Amino acid sequence: MYSSETMTPQTLLVELHSNFTTEGSTTTQFGLLPTEHQEHETIELTEGINDWSEIGFYIFTAEKSGNGVQWVGDHIRPRFRIPPRWHWPVGVSLSTEFGYARAAFSNPTWSWQIMPIVDQNIGRWYWSVNGTMVWDVHVVPPPADSTPQQKQFYYTNVAPRGVTFGPAATLTYAPSKLFNFGIEYYSYYGQWGNFVPLHYQQQQVFPVVNLFVSPKWEINFGAGWGATAGTDHLIVKCVIGRYFDWSHHRPGSSESSQ
Amino acid sequence: MNRRTFLTQCSATFAGAAFAPLLGQPAETEPDVKLEIAPLALEIAPRKTVHTVAYNGRVPGPLIRWPEGKPIVIEVMNRTEIPEIVHWHGLWIPSEVDGSAEEGSPMIPPGARLRYSFTPRPAGFRWYHTHIAAGHDLKRATYSGEFGCLYIEPRNEPCAYDQEIFLALHDWNAYMGASGDSSMEVAYEYSTINDRMLGFGDPVRVREGERVLFRILNASASMIHWLALAGHEMTVVAMDGNPVPTPTTVKAIRLGPAERIDAIVAMNQPGAWILGETREQFRKMGMGVAVEYANQQSKARWVEPPEALWDYRLFATTQNESREPDEVIPLRFESKFHGQGAFDSWTINGKSYPDADTISLRAGKRYRLQMTNHSTDDHPIHLHRHTFEVKKLAGSALSGLSKDVVVIPANATTDVDFTANNPGATLFHCHNQTHMDFGFMTLFRYS
C-alpha cells in the first residue's frame, strides 16, 4: 500500500518485503510455478527527490524448496504527488512503475503500471485507496496446442491483454505514535472494462500492524486471506524498512546547517 | 479550555480596561509611537500576494528605536475583527504591559485602542509581536505579519560598525504537514527576509571595507532557520540583544523562532552575494536577500558554505561568574499524540496550559530551570520579562550567555538560571506557535 506522501529529499528508505504463501496453487498453471510455500523477498529502495517526487527501485526474488533463491525481476517506480502547499483536502499522488519479471513467476513479463493514490488522515484514522492499472506490455502466449476456447479463457481470465485493474485500500487507527493497526485490501479484477468473473478475481484482506519503533525504522506485519478461488488462500507478509538520512543529522534536528 | 478560549475570556474580562490609558498616562497626550493593526495584502514577489495582518501597513512593522530608561508611550489601534495584544519581547517591564493575556495584560478589542506605557530596559535588540492564539487558524498570531524590530539604545554601543541593517525572517501560508515522527507539524509555502522573497526585493547595499552590523530576527511562527552570507563570514557579537562573552566568527548562524543575532560582517569580497538560508529548499521558498557592493551590480551569487553545527558554547565562556541558584525547578516537556492527522498537545510536568500549575517564586532568589525535553522536536523556549543565563546544554556546562529564548535540543536536558527580579506573573513557553497554542506554557508568579 502506498500513501500519497513522498520520501523526504536526501533520504533513502531501504525496505525488505517478505511474503510467504502458506496456502496457494499447488500445480504449475500456464507456465507459472506453484505458489504454495513460495517465499518472495523483495528489496525496495526509495529516494526522495524533492517535496513532490521520489524514485523507487525493486529487486524481486523468490525461494521455494528445491528451487533455491531465484531472481524474479526488477521494476523502477517514479512517483509524484500534489505538493502539500496546494492545500488539497486529501493527499493525491500518481505512481508509475515499469519493469520486467520472469515468465515462471509473472505473466505479463514486461509491464507498465499507473497507480493514482488518494489518502487522508483524520485524527487517529488514516485511509488510502490505490487504483492499480497495469498495461501488460508483453504477455506470454498460451501453450501452442491450446484450443480456441482455452485461448479465450487464457486471454480473458489468466493473462488479459491491454490494461488491467486492481484496486487496493487500507484503513488504520493509530492509538500512539509508535504503532497503528488496521486492514489492507488487495485485488485484481482483470481487464479494464471486461472484468473476469468473481471466481477468478483476486480478493485479499490483510489485518496489519505497523510499528514505528524509532524514527529510522518501521515494520509492517500482516496475514492475508484470499476470498476467491483465484487468490492464494493464506499469505503472511512482513516489511522491514530503514531510513538513511544523507544529511547526516538526526531526524527533525536543527543542529546542522544542511 | 484551550488557549483560544482562555484568551477570549481574557478579552471579555479586560474589555473595559482596554479603553483606559495605562499607568496614569493621559489619553490626550500624543503617544511616542502609534501602531495600527490591520489586514494587509502583501506582495512578496510579483504575482505572489499573502493576505495577512500587519502593523502600520508594512512588514515588518516600523522599527522602534528608543533610548534605554526613557519612558515611552505606544498607542495601538486594533482595526481587525478579533481581540489583539502586543508583546514587547525581551523587555523587563511589568506584567500589566508586557502584552500577554496570560500574565494579566489587557486585550485590545476590535475597533479599540490601547496605550502601552513603560520604561524600556535592558538595552539591545528586542522585538514586538502579537501574542494571541492561532489554534488551527494558521493565518493568525505569529503566522501573520504582526511583528517588528525594537531597538533599545544603550548609552554606548558595545561594538563599532559602519552600517546597521535590521532583517526579519518570516514564513508564510502555513499548512499542516507531516513530520518525522508521525505527528503533524506546520509547514510553509513561502519565506521572506523582511517583506520580499529572494530575488524580488531591493538589495542590501554595502561598500568595500565597511563593517556592517546585521541585526537579524527570526520572526517565524515555528521554523528554525540557518543563514549564511555567501563568500563572507559573520562575527556574532550579541544574542537576543545581549552581548556575548566570546564574539566568534562563523560561516553560518542559526536562529530559532524569536531568537535574534547581532553579527558583524567585514565587507571584503566585492560583488553581489546572497544572504540566505543555507538549505536550498528554504531559499527556493524565498528566504534570502541580495547583498550588493557599490558599483557591483550583477546577479547575486550563492556559494554553498561547508556544513556547520550550531553550538551555543562557541559564544559563551567556561568561567562561572554568576551566583549559584537558590533552587532548582525541574521542567519536563512531553507531547501527547492525537493522531497522524492532528497536532500533538504538549505538557510541562504532565499538564497542559491552562491546566498547568502556576509555579511560585520568591523575589530576589536565583532559580535554575532544569528543562528535560522528552520529545523528538527542538523547542525554542522563551521566558517573559526576564533574561536568563544558559548554564548547561546536553550535559556540557557553559556560562555568560544571556538570552530570553534558547533552543532546547530533542531528548536532551538544558539548564538556565535567572534571578526573580521583576515581580508579577511571568509566562514561560515554547515559542513555536502551535506548541504554545496546544499547551506548551506555564506561569511563574511572585510579588
Strand stretches in B24-154, DSSP E: 33-45, 48-55, 61-67, 72-78, 86-89, 113-118, 124-130, 147-153
Q: Which of B137, B139, B182, B381 to mutate to test the interface with A (most CBs of A within 10 A)?
A: B182
Q: Would you call A254 and B378 a contact, using CB atoms and an 8 Å cutoff?
A: yes
Would you say A160 and A136 are in contact if contact means Cβ atoms under 8 Å apart? yes
> pLDDT at position A165, please?
92
The pLDDT tens digits for A49-73 are 988 999 999 999 988 767 788 899 9
The nearest CA of chain A is from the CA of B256 a distance in Å of 9
Contacting residues of A for B184, CB less than 8 Å apart? 121
In this prediction, residues B126-133 reach a mean pLDDT of: 98
> pLDDT at position B409, please?
92
Q: How many CB pairs under 8 A join A and B?
A: 96
Q: Would you call A126 and B341 a contact, using CB atoms and an 8 Å cutoff?
A: yes
Q: Would you call B340 and A174 a contact, using CB atoms and an 8 Å cutoff?
A: yes
Contacting residues of A for B409, CB less than 8 Å apart? 253, 255
B255 against B322, higher pLDDT: B255
The nearest CA of chain A is from the CA of B407 a distance in Å of 9
> pLDDT at position A157, please?
67
Per the structure, the count of domains in chain A is 1
Pairing of strands B242-250, B234-239: antiparallel
- Cα dist from B232 to B235, B236, B433, whole Å: 10, 13, 33
Cell of A68: 533455491
Q: Would you call B278 and A126 a contact, using CB atoms and an 8 Å cutoff?
A: no
Angle ∠(B436,B439,B442) on CA atoms, nearest 5 = 85
Contacting residues of B for A251, CB less than 8 Å apart? 180-181, 376
The CATH number of whichever domain residue A40 belongs to comes to 2.40.160.40
Q: Would you call B341 and A122 a contact, using CB atoms and an 8 Å cutoff?
A: yes
In this prediction, residues A192-197 reach a mean pLDDT of: 84
> pLDDT at position B322, please?
83
Reply yes or no on whether the pLDDT at B77 is more than 90. yes
Reply yes or no on whether the pLDDT at B69 is more than 60. yes
In this prediction, residues B393-400 reach a mean pLDDT of: 91
Reply yes or no on whether the pLDDT at B9 is more than 60. no
Rounded CA gap, B374 and B334, in Å?
Answer: 5
A34 within domain boundaries: yes
The nearest CA of chain A is from the CA of B192 a distance in Å of 16
Contacting residues of B for A121, CB less than 8 Å apart? 184, 339-342
> pLDDT at position B181, please?
57
- Cα dist from A68 to A28, A39, A235, B17, B303, whole Å: 17, 10, 20, 83, 53
Rounded CA gap, B3 and A135, in Å?
Answer: 54
Rounded CA gap, B372 and B333, in Å?
Answer: 6
Report the residue from A124, A174, A252 with minimal CB separation from B376.
A252
> pLDDT at position B178, please?
66
DSSP annotation of B343 reads B
Reply yes or no on whether the pLDDT at A29 is more than 80. no
Reply yes or no on whether the pLDDT at B13 is more than 50. no
Would you say A58 and A43 are in contact if contact means Cβ atoms under 8 Å apart? yes
Task: Please report which confidence band the pLDDT of residue B17 belongs to, taking 50, 70 and 90 as the band edges.
Answer: very low
Report the residue from B181, B310, B409 with minimal CB separation from A177.
B181
Would you say A6 and A54 are in contact if contact means Cβ atoms under 8 Å apart? yes
Q: Would you call B310 and A5 a contact, using CB atoms and an 8 Å cutoff?
A: no
Report the residue from B177, B226, B339 with minimal CB separation from A257.
B226
3-state DSSP assignment of residue B441: strand
In this prediction, residues A98-123 reach a mean pLDDT of: 90
Pairing of strands A91-101, B113-118: unpaired
Contacting residues of B for A256, CB less than 8 Å apart? 307-310
Peptide bond into A175 cis (omega under 30): no
Task: Please report which confidence band the pLDDT of residue B28 belongs to, taking 50, 70 and 90 as the band edges.
Answer: low
Tell me the residues of A at the B interface, defined by beta carbons under 8 Å apart.
Answer: 5, 8-9, 50-51, 84-85, 87, 120-126, 174, 176-177, 180, 212, 215, 248, 250-258
> pLDDT at position A65, please?
64
Tell me the residues of B at the A interface, defined by beta carbons under 8 Å apart.
Answer: 173, 175, 177-184, 187-189, 224, 226, 228, 251-252, 254, 256, 278-279, 281, 305, 307-310, 337-342, 376-378, 407, 409-410
A93 within domain boundaries: yes
A140 within domain boundaries: yes
> Domain B327-445, what fold?
Immunoglobulin-like (2.60.40)
* Mean pLDDT of chain A, nearest integer: 86
Task: Please report which confidence band the pLDDT of residue B187 belongs to, taking 50, 70 and 90 as the band edges.
Answer: confident
Contacting residues of A for B183, CB less than 8 Å apart? 177
A95 within domain boundaries: yes
Reply yes or no on whether the pLDDT at B16 is more than 80. no
Q: What is the DSSP string of B72-90?
A: EEEEEEE-SSS-B-EEEET
* Helix intervals (H) in B207-303: 280-285
The pLDDT tens digits for A131-190 are 999 988 888 888 788 888 887 777 776 777 788 899 999 999 998 888 999 999 999 888
Would you say B409 and B302 are in contact if contact means Cβ atoms under 8 Å apart? no
Give the chain B residue nearest A120 (alpha carbons).
B341
Q: Which helix (H) or strand (E) holds A70?
A: strand A68-81
Q: Would you call A252 and B308 a contact, using CB atoms and an 8 Å cutoff?
A: no
Task: Please report which confidence band the pLDDT of residue B27 belongs to, taking 50, 70 and 90 as the band edges.
Answer: low
B341 against B285, higher pLDDT: B285
A11 against B10, higher pLDDT: A11
The nearest CA of chain B is from the CA of A144 a distance in Å of 54
Q: Which of A240-244, B349-353, B438-442 has the lowest mean pLDDT?
A: A240-244
User: Which residues are within 8 A (CB) of A11 and not within 5 positions of it... i.e. 6 or more apart?
Assistant: A47, A48, A243, A244, A245, A246
Q: Would you call A177 and B182 a contact, using CB atoms and an 8 Å cutoff?
A: yes
Q: Would you call A121 and B281 a contact, using CB atoms and an 8 Å cutoff?
A: no
Would you say A123 and B136 are in contact if contact means Cβ atoms under 8 Å apart? no
Would you say A239 and A18 are in contact if contact means Cβ atoms under 8 Å apart? yes
Stretch(es) of chain B classified as CATH 2.60.40.420: 3-153, 163-310, 327-445
A145 within domain boundaries: yes
A184 within domain boundaries: yes
The pLDDT tens digits for A225-245 are 887 776 777 889 999 999 887
Q: Would you call A252 and B184 a contact, using CB atoms and an 8 Å cutoff?
A: no
Cell of B222: 515555528
Q: Which of B186, B253, B335, B376 to mutate to test the interface with A (most CBs of A within 10 A)?
A: B376
> pLDDT at position B343, please?
83
Report the residue from A5, A50, A174 with minimal CB separation from B339.
A174
The nearest CA of chain A is from the CA of B300 a distance in Å of 21
Q: Would you call A123 and B339 a contact, using CB atoms and an 8 Å cutoff?
A: yes
B276 against A224, higher pLDDT: B276
Please list the residues that pair with A66 across neighbouring strands: none
Report the residue from A87, A212, A248 with minimal CB separation from B182.
A212
Full residue range of the structural domain in which residue A190 is found = 11-245
Contacting residues of A for B189, CB less than 8 Å apart? 85
> Domain B3-153, what fold?
Immunoglobulin-like (2.60.40)
Q: Would you call A253 and B378 a contact, using CB atoms and an 8 Å cutoff?
A: yes
Q: Would you call A257 and B309 a contact, using CB atoms and an 8 Å cutoff?
A: yes
> pLDDT at position B179, please?
61
Give the chain A residue nearest B222 (alpha carbons).
A254
Give the chain A residue nearest B304 (alpha carbons).
A258
In this prediction, residues B356-378 reach a mean pLDDT of: 95
Would you say B183 and B97 are in contact if contact means Cβ atoms under 8 Å apart? no
List the helix and strand counts (H, then E) for chain B.
Answer: 4, 32
Task: Please report which confidence band the pLDDT of residue A86 belongs to, taking 50, 70 and 90 as the band edges.
Answer: confident
Rounded CA gap, B432 and B174, in Å?
Answer: 13
- Cα dist from A3 to A98, A255, B181, whole Å: 19, 29, 16
Peptide bond into B154 cis (omega under 30): no
- Domain B163-310: CATH superfamily, name plus number: Cupredoxins -  blue copper proteins (2.60.40.420)
Q: Rounded to a whole number, what is the distance in angstroms from the first to the last CA of chain A? A: 31
